[in-house]
Structure 1
Amino acid sequence: MTLKLISAALLVALSAGYAAAESHEFEITGDAEKGEKTFRKCMACHAVGEDAKNKVGPVLNGIVGRAAGVEAGFSYSAPLMDKAAEGLVWTPDTLAQFLEKPRDFIKGTKMSFAGLRKEAERDDVIAYLATFKSE
């Protein structure tokens, strides 16, 4: 019974975080066209766009400004869900930190990608992702 209540409370908190986070505007400094090319490195595991579906990684539509761990139908790692419970929101800054070296940003993440070492590439991918809103 207690586990159900905790799960329900977490779901409500995450839903509230999702709605609140999406209402923010962020300064996006990258080049979305360049980011589309760099995003090809991500496409084996992630999808964006109108018909996007979860793969090894979650759909990334609406990721910029969204609370972590809320993509429906995706099973996130426990470490990511711990960060989500702490209030992690995917701002351009937190996305950049994660994309630089995912396993350093979230110890134990399921994301096996080594990261994007160049700041410009991270900024460009974030600009590209910002062009996809939640459906």
Structure 2
Amino acid sequence: MSFTSPWLLWTLFAASIPIIIHLVNRWRHRSVYWAAMEFLLRAARETRGTKKLLHYLILALRVLAVVALVTAFARPLLGSFFGWGSSGLNEVLLVLDRSASMDARPDKTNSLRDTVPPLVKSTFDQLSSCRLSLLD
């Protein structure tokens, strides 16, 4: 898999920002013990495992959100990655200009209107697996 803007992948280090914020908030926390809090702490101990799991899950989702955002900005080119997309040419779009400037030739040789169609035909014969769309 390649990326249109691979230099943006350096910003994947931004995925560590939620982890750093999480750790700073844990260091900042100070416990103050007093009688009314003992009841609340006892109730909180019963759900401590669930809360810890929930905090880690939220932290993981924040990191994944940052990684997904950076990857989206780097615009990955999937091609045939996991069978999605294709790496070949699917369609050729040919735009014909029928203006007077296509016929104007100062040296009186063939005009562009006469020379271009054979070139397009030979090129399209080499690309037999694609569709040709013509805009006139």
- TM-score of the aligned structures, taking structure 1 as reference length: 0.24
**Bigger CA radius of gyration:** 2
- TM-score of the aligned structures, taking structure 2 as reference length: 0.24
- Select the structure that is richer in helix: 2
- Select the structure that is richer in strand: 2
